[in-house]
């Protein structure tokens, strides 16, 4: 295992390029299962989750050719429509093959993902939605078995907004017989990046007024070429890094329209930013103001930026209350931030963060993807050295995070865990 060693107190300066979005590329890769045509995906980030998805696609019989940022996928034939536990347990997003397999093969056997560090994370709504489309769904020995002989257009309203649930149901409907209306669908930009791909493939999808989509099933879909949108969560992470530890950092490719809630919060905190055609420039802020924040589905403040925001609130002037409304256990970073001298108390879904003048470097442990980056941000401004262990979590979703920070001047090294 690897860890990151970080020397705190160095100011960041320069520019950083945002990679393709993890949460867009994964469903787009799954969409290749809908066609026997060639699918060309560009701006593909080299992430552990992308490699896991490739393993799964490989097991399903997909031809893979990955060169640099370009990935060519071709699912001429599906070997066996099964997503095994081994792969699903390492990455919950593996469940994204369920919708496409149901649509193409009219059958799928996908392992149930189970809980994870940040909460229960059931897929009951994916299953309910499929049943509404006429799919027979059974749960057997930890697997979802979906038999879609009678896949028919229908209507379905999600009880709760779910990102991968929306994506699965849209992909299941594109080749169903007749019309489907899905309501209370997730509005995340990554969902619309996928929809754009599906339209390129020949799917008929129309966005309706009230968080709804209308899908007209078609007989078959073709291949596509697509460039993945930039990762707004990575962009937000670097903006927060710049505010906390920067002199001046240009986050290239950050799209302001995708991150208005985060940008509003940053400016309430007193962070100065410039919106440029090539990205967003952020200036280091000596007196970050403590401002309350609550996570919500898009366009609200993303749960995937909650931990990084908390790292910033740890050194802000004053007290802030952070409310996590999406995942019930997403405060695993709190105990580790405390080890660095942060003053945080948690009551249920609320964390009260009293800003301190200085954090102190310490050995800490990453518990999930975004918690990892928040610990790195805290370490950048802490006094002395920190060691963040278990960074395989970080590598799941950030491409070359340490290398990008090093280019900005950070003193950060990757070491073997026992070094
Ligand atoms: C996606 C993102 C993840 C992000 C999350 C919330 C991907 C690959 N991952 O995860 O980075 O943190 O959205 O923005 O895009 N829920 C149910 N039943 C279901 C499905 C979800 O109760 O069938 C609940 C979940 O437990 C959670 C909430 O709905 O409380 C939102 O989860 P969801 O949007 O589904 O998260 P993911 O799609 O797994």
Ordered by where they begin, the domains of the chain are 2-19+230-416 (3.65.10.10), 22-227 (3.65.10.10)
Q: What percent of the chain has pLDDT over 90?
A: 93
pLDDT of res. 328 = 84
- Mean of pLDDT values over 150-154: 94
User: In angstroms, what is the span from residue 158 Cα to ligand 1's centroid?
Assistant: 12
Q: Is the pLDDT of residue 116 over 90?
A: no
Ligand 1 centroid to Cα of residue 24, in Å, is 14
pLDDT at 338: 98
pLDDT score at 121: 77
Residue 417 has pLDDT above 90, yes or no: no
CA quadruple 372, 416, 116, 294: dihedral, nearest 10 = 0
Q: Which two tokens stand for residue 349?
A: 């879904």
Asked if the model's pLDDT at residue 329 lies above 90, the reply is no
Report the candidate in 122, 111, 54 with the shortest Cα–Cα distance to residue 88: 111
List the residue whose alpha carbon is closest to atom 31 of ligand 1.
Answer: 162
Place 209 in a pLDDT band, splitting at 50, 70 and 90.
Answer: confident
Task: Sheet containing 224-227: give its strands across.
Answer: 63-67, 70-74, 38-42, 224-227
Mean pLDDT of 159-168: 97
User: Are 104 and 141 a contacting pair, CB within 8 Å?
Assistant: no
Phi then psi for residue 361, to 5 deg, are -55, 145
pLDDT bin (cut points 50, 70, 90) of residue 114 is: low
Residue nearest to ligand 1 atom 5, measured at CA? 163
Residue 7, both tokens: 């020397």
Best of 29, 56, 159, 164 for a ligand 1 pocket test (most atoms within 8 Å of beta carbon): 164
Asked if the model's pLDDT at residue 120 lies above 80, the reply is no
């Amino acid at each position: 295992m690897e860890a990151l060693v970080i020397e705190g107190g160095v100011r960041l300066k320069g520019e950083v390029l945002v990679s393709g979005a993890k949460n867009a590329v994964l469903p787009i890769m799954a969409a290749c299962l809908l066609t026997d045509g060639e699918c060309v995906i560009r701006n593909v980030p080299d992430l552990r989750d992308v490699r896991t998805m490739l393993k799964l696609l490989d097991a399903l019989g997909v031809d893979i050719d990955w060169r640099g940022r370009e990935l060519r996928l071709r699912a001429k034939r599906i070997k066996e429509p099964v997503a095994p536990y081994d792969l699903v347990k390492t990455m919950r997003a593996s469940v994204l093959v369920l919708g496409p397999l149901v649509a193409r093969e009219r059958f799928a056997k996908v392992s149930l993902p189970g809980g994870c560090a940040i909460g229960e994370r059931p897929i009951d709504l994916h299953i309910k939605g499929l049943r509404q489309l006429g799919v027979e769904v059974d749960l057997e020995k930890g697997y979802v078995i979906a038999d879609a002989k009678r896949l028919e257009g229908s209507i379905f309203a999600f009880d709760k907004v779910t990102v991968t649930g929306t994506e699965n149901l849209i992909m299941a409907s594109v080749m169903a017989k007749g019309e489907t209306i899905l309501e209370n669908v997730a509005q995340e930009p990554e969902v619309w990046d996928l929809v754009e791909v599906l339209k390129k493939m020949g799917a008929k999808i129309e966005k309706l007024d009230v968080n709804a989509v209308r899908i007209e099933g078609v007989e078959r879909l073709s291949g596509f070429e697509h460039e993945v949108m930039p990762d707004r969560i990575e962009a937000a992470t670097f903006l927060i890094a710049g505010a906390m530890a920067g002199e001046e950092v240009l986050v290239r490719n950050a799209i302001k329209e995708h991150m208005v809630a985060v940008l509003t919060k940053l400016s309430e905190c007193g962070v100065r930013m410039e919106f440029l055609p090539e990205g967003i420039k952020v200036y280091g802020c000596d007196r970050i103001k403590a401002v309350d924040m609550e996570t919500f589905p898009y366009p609200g403040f993303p749960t995937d930026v909650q931990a990084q925001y908390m790292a910033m609130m740890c050194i802000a002037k004053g007290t802030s209350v952070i409310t996590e409304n999406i995942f019930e256990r997403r405060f695993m970073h709190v105990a580790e931030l405390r080890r660095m001298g942060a003053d945080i108390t948690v009551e249920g879904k609320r964390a009260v963060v009293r800003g301190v003048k200085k954090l102190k470097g310490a050995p800490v442990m990453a518990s999930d993807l975004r918690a990892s980056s928040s610990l790195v941000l805290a370490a950048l401004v802490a006094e002395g050295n920190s060691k963040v262990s278990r960074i395989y979590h970080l590598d799941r979703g950030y491409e070359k995070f340490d290398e990008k920070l090093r280019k900005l001047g950070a003193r950060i090294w990757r070491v073997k865990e026992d070094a």
